[in-house]
Structure 1
Amino acid sequence: MTTLRSVVVGCGSHLPATIVTNADLSERMETSDEWIVQRTGIRQRHIAAPEETTAVLGTRAAQAALADAGLSGADIDLVICATSTPDHTFPSTATQIQAALGIETGFAFDQQAVCAGFVYAVATADSLIRTGAAKRALIIGAETFSRIVDWEDRTTCVLFGDGAGAIVLEAREGEGTTADRGVLSSRLRSDGRHRSKLYVDGGPGSTGTVGKLRMEGKEVFRFAVGSVTDVIADAFTLSGTTAEDLDWFVPHQANRRIIEASADKLGIAREKVVLTVDMHGNTSAASIPLALDAARKDGRIRDGDLVMIEAIGGGFAWGAALIRW
């Protein structure tokens, strides 16, 4: 029996030119390269210039993904931008990217699930494609987290960076088996009781200000390793696959220790884990598409590979999706 699948046909990314190393940070605050690397695995991060807004980064990543797919903006009828650092309260960053790409048809909106935003956006686009509401979707994760971190808080400011990544999903018929290319399964979860563990202390509806990021690092670590593997297990079950079938695990790039502990818990071999946190830091919703593009460009991810993406973000919100590339 044939079924409609959301197939990845293009992938792209964009990073700001400015790189800030751990050594650079140690010159402006009490920290060190050794301290940061031991606790997080991060060695450097990219920081956006004043003119590089979230929409600018997202547009450049989108252009790269379209070029990789051999498509233009006119071929896209859905744009979703996963971001927690939009250019404006409204309109959405997705509509600004849509306009920059010259797209005049279809629809565009932002997805806000913090670091899990890209996974949420992929699952949302897949649902819309499978219902026939869209034929080709541009899914973007774009962030300028450097603008909401407290640069006086060395426990959090060293973690985050800026960047954007994107993929193009296209509706194609499959046979309804795990050999099909495209999104095979996804699972999303959230639990708002954990707000205080990772949040921004401002917003238009509360303080009328942008606010700064606040985090209880130990609590986030504990929850990320102990609780969020449920969505991964469910995604495997829904698709009829197992960790042994997986070619690549591409998780949210927040902390190397979290990534490796989660992989170990799930029985995913470490050599199957794509790691870019050392180069990019935590880029929130941009981290997974940045990692996907890096692994695609260096030849690790190839057509036909089974790829798991997974993330947890503030809220908490978390999710996973299994994709046959």
Structure 2
Amino acid sequence: PMLVIGGRSPLMRFEMGALQEMDQVELLRPITKWARCLYETQRIPEYIASAFRAALTGRQGPVFLEIPTDVLFRKVEENDVYFPQSYRPQGRVYPDPKAVKQAAEIIARAERPLVMAGSAIYWQDAHQELRRFIELAHAPAYLNAMGRGSISQEHPLFFSRTRRNALGKADAIVVIGTPLDFRLAYGKRFNPEARTVQIDTDPQELARNRDIDVPIEGDAKAALEMLIGELEGVKADHKEWISGLREGENKVRAQMEEWMNSDREPIHPLRLCREMAEFVDDNTIVIGDGGDIVNQAARILPINHPGQWYDPGPMGTLGVGTGFCMAVHSVYPEKRILMVNGDGTFGLNG
């Protein structure tokens, strides 16, 4: 979620060729949740409230408010201005209990369950519930985007290097708060025999690109709370499944070790990531700004806490790292910040 407030040439000079006159709202409408131009000074608080409501409800995202300069600088009587105080929902959206019960039955019967969790875990503060859920289901958890850090890498059910193989073998797959986009091969690599559950606040994301047995519209934290309630008392034990995946993780790690410890020149990306990993501690926030290098870094850097990882997201907007670093530092001035740049990003900002 992000609110961008932009200026505009004065309304009184509309279509007269004023400095930087252009239709910014129509330019930004396709890439925002909400884009508006403000025409009345006394309605500034109303429009700000509407912008935050759009940005922070449902599927969160960026919004844009354009304020022409003459509207911005005009004076009005404060008594004539309405200042919204309670303008957006504060509660969580709980899913249909019947759908949750169906999902719990799939998970309880599974022999090879798998959990794939993404950014909604961070934004909806669901990391504790996610951890409790995977422990009850005894299911391996894979994380992407801002979901990274929701489960400590030291947790026995955290996995990161065997996802493709695991998705092809799992008999129950639970996708929480991440779309079935290119990062998950549009769901095409899922075991075709697997029962599937998908949880998302945005119903447009549910069952997009492949059929889902139990699509659940709802907040990730709320849905996980309900699933935990349904699974309490279930004695899940998938040791063989878990140990097989762990063996695969160790094998991939062993293959990576050669390059992580290589002294060859030019330096191999994995060696660079190994060196960076020694810098990253619990007080470090990592900003990934690149493509391949960010994928490599995500496999090696110790990301063990919610909000410890930021990256450009599925749009691959290279070059945002410097701005991310400035924003993160303004919010967490006591934190150390590491920016991982790829060559494309460096070409833009180096």
Higher relative contact order (CA 8 A, sep 6+): 1
Output the TM-score relative to the length of structure 2: 0.25
Q: Which has the larger radius of gyration?
A: 2
Output the TM-score relative to the length of structure 1: 0.27
Q: Which has the higher helix share?
A: 2
